[in-house]
Amino acid sequence: MPSYQAPIRDMRFVMDEMLDYPAHYARLPGGDEASPDVVGAILEEGARFARDVLLPINQSGDEEGCLLEGGEVKAPNGFKEAYQQYVEGGWPSLAADPEHGGQGLPPSLAMLLSEMICATNLAWGMYPGLSHGAADALRHHGTDEQKATYLTKLVEGVWTGTMCLTEPHCGTDLGLINTRAVPVDNNAYAITGSKIYISAGEHNLAENIVHLVLAKLPDAPKGSKGISLFVVPKLLPDARGNSGERNAVTCGSLENKMGIHGNATCVMNFDGATGYLVGSPNQGLACMFTMMNAARLGVGVQGLGLTEASFQNSLSYARDRLQMRSLSGKQAPDKAADPIIVHPDVRRMLLTQKAFAEGGRMLVLYTAQMLDVVEHGESGQERERADTLLGLLTPIVKAFLTEVGFESTNEGVQVYGGHGFIKEWGMEQLVRDARITRIYEGTNGIQALDLLGRKVLMSQGESLKVFTKEIHQFCKAEAENPALKEFIEPLAKLNAEWGELTMGVGMKAMQDREEVGAASMDYLMYSGYVALAYLFARAAKQASASLDGDDKAFYAAKLNTARFYYQRLLPRTKAHAQMIQAGAASLMAISSEDFGLGFEI
């Protein structure tokens, strides 16, 4: 079974030393509650819960899967008990509004807990994973009555939430949905239709499940402009707000999946189920985006957690596994062969995972600061800037961290060699679980289109300039720092090139909109590599200034990891830049009919 120790030392380095979280929290209303001691206690207890409660049921949950009987889903053994401990520990309420029973701590703290959960048991983590987003959607768009009915239960974790978007005939193109909402008495609607791929749509962990469902009213305009959002509980609340009679919503089947077997991915059937409109009619997509954006950040954290899990276990195996001798001579003369960690190619794989784990953590915590400010910042100008950066970085967090997360878990299997391909070691499960992260909550191709087309080009590049200006100012301030020359010079060049590539795509797109789609995925990956380069440069600055302290080995390793990233991973931007500049011509030259020349379909 894989092992895991929460990387608290690295988390505290990023939070306390690099991003100055103590000062960040002090500026937030109520941030004084997040004192260093409180944060430390939360991290330590979260690490214990993830390691001692969730990790032991991860492999067994994968092997058992979920069981559907009579419309009821039973999660794997131990999942319900773990959820009860999660609720009793107050974890669901960590960053929720005190008005609804939350602890009122900054959202960034919940992101750290989420990383630990994803690293130890991704399938289990998906049961409470969407509850926070459901609560946010209702908090921002629900009526006072809806807030009173649902928010406290969701915050406490007594009820869980889902997001019901996709239907059998349509995935990302939500304008094609067929689910209908017909008005009935007392402001209620009868919801009828089927939704697929609904994570945690039915389970036995919590007493009730609150579905947020996209549907169309009888007089709705066509397409995405005619979508409304409805809250549809599994059990209808009674007069006191407690779970009452069963609603007409059932799980028709469970998907037979490649991974995340311990989570119930459901086909949900709504047969005239009672639902209530959330927000204004035909504005459902805008309301749902509150939940979708939170979910996309959460999926990025899943990529990070799986990267860390893969790295830790690869490292442990590489230190113990004996295979051949080092090219430079015996490194372990008292043993029959050397540990494989001495071999350069194994080190390449380990350092790739290590760099993506540490770089991903920096990106998540940097983005989490923006989330804190958007939620709790004192000035409108501060909140607006943070919101711009949050919008820009969300698709990068989601797509880039899941792309490199899948790469990292594959490298983990490779470090183990044949043993990695064998089920008992647990490494192949990480690959299977990681694969879905590139697909759900908007495929990575959709995230790339959102980044380039919507966030960057539709703002005339202004959103990107907020971030590139910050990088430019950092490079300018550190230009004469000899300890950072190896980082600052390439970073400054890439930062300038980022703007040039953006302008080039924008100019081409004025003549041919296909240029946006042709460039988007490479543009997103380029953006992710440059964003991590900026954060590694900041980490290198902090580490180089701390080399004379008590933890010299940690800071030296941080510098060497930054050097590896710059020398062995950052050059990938050259290929992405070349592909961005190649344009759409070669992609669109072959007709759809000619794709299959040479064989019959």
CATH number at residue 318: 1.20.140.10
Measured CA to CA, the distance from residue 69 to residue 90 in angstroms comes to: 31
Model confidence over 408-437: pLDDT tens digits?
999 999 999 999 999 999 999 999 999 999
Weakest-pLDDT range from 172-186, 200-214, 235-249: 172-186
* Mean pLDDT for all residues in the chain: 95
Model confidence over 121-165: pLDDT tens digits?
999 999 999 999 899 999 999 999 999 999 999 999 999 999 999
Is residue 482 in a domain?
yes
Question: How much is the pLDDT for 170?
Answer: 81
Whether residue 130 contacts residue 161, with contact meaning beta carbons closer than 8 Å, is answered with: yes
Is residue 525 in a domain?
yes
Taking residues 88-111, what's their average pLDDT?
A: 92
Q: What total number of domains does the chain contain?
A: 1
In this predicted structure, the answer to whether residue 171 has a pLDDT above a threshold of 70 is no
Burial of 159 (0-12, 13-18, 19+ CB in 10 A): buried
Helix (H/G/I), strand (E/B), else coil: 419: helix
Q: How confident is the model at residue 286 (pLDDT cuts 50, 70, 90)?
A: confident
Catalytic residue among 441, 478, 486, 515: 441
Whether residue 287 contacts residue 141, with contact meaning beta carbons closer than 8 Å, is answered with: yes
Q: Please list the residues that pair with 230 across neighbouring strands.
A: 213, 277
Question: How much is the pLDDT for 243?
Answer: 92
Q: Count CB-CB contacts under 10 A for residue 185.
A: 5
Radius of gyration in angstroms for the set of CA atoms belonging to the chain, rounded to a whole number: 24
Taking residues 476-486, what's their average pLDDT?
A: 97
SS (H, E, C) 343-394: CHHHHHHHHHHHHHHHHHHHHHHHHHHHHHHHHHCCCHHHHHHHHHHHHHHH
Whether residue 533 contacts residue 526, with contact meaning beta carbons closer than 8 Å, is answered with: no
Weakest-pLDDT range from 38-42, 94-98, 197-201, 259-263: 94-98
Burial of 482 (0-12, 13-18, 19+ CB in 10 A): exposed
Residue 407 a catalytic site member: no
3-state helix, strand, coil in the chain (%, to 5): 65, 10, 25
Closest by alpha carbon to 302, among 437, 176, 451, 481? 437
Is residue 536 in a domain?
yes
C-alpha separations of 69 from 75, 253, 542, 561 in Å:
11, 10, 56, 50
Question: How much is the pLDDT for 224?
Answer: 82
* Consecutive H or E run containing 472: helix 462-477
Question: How much is the pLDDT for 285?
Answer: 87
Model confidence over 227-252: pLDDT tens digits?
999 999 999 999 888 999 999 999 99
Which structural domain, as residue segments, surrounds residue 445?
Answer: 290-583
- Token pair for 185: 């008495």
Closest by alpha carbon to 277, among 360, 378, 186? 186
450-470 core/surface letters (b: 16 or more CB in 10 A; e: else) = bbbbebbbeeeeebbbbbbee
| Higher per-residue pLDDT: 597 or 446 | 446
Measured CA to CA, the distance from residue 464 to residue 483 in angstroms comes to: 28
Q: Please list the residues that pair with 69 across neighbouring strands.
A: 72
DSSP structure string for 238-266: -TTSSEEEEPSEEEEEE---SS-TTS-EE
Q: How confident is the model at residue 29 (pLDDT cuts 50, 70, 90)?
A: confident
Is residue 454 in a domain?
yes
- Token pair for 497: 């090139």
Question: How much is the pLDDT for 414?
Answer: 98
Model confidence over 553-571: pLDDT tens digits?
999 999 999 999 999 999 9
Tell me the residue type at 179: T
Is residue 131 in a domain?
no
Q: CA 83, 86, 87, 92: dihedral to nearest 10 degrees?
A: -110
Measured CA to CA, the distance from residue 461 to residue 457 in angstroms comes to: 5
Q: How confident is the model at residue 52 (pLDDT cuts 50, 70, 90)?
A: very high
pTM reported for the whole predicted model: 0.97
Residue entry with tokens 């090139």: 497
Measured CA to CA, the distance from residue 282 to residue 230 in angstroms comes to: 11
- Token pair for 215: 């549907």
Is residue 108 in a domain?
no
* Residues 6 or more apart whose Cβ sits within 8 Å of residue 231: 138, 142, 146, 150, 210, 211, 212, 213, 275, 276, 278
Nearest 5°: phi and psi at 211?
-90, 130
Is residue 353 in a domain?
yes
Model confidence over 312-361: pLDDT tens digits?
999 999 999 999 999 999 999 999 999 999 999 999 999 999 999 999 99
Is residue 224 in a domain?
no
Tell me the residue type at 145: E
Q: Count CB-CB contacts under 10 A for residue 329.
A: 9
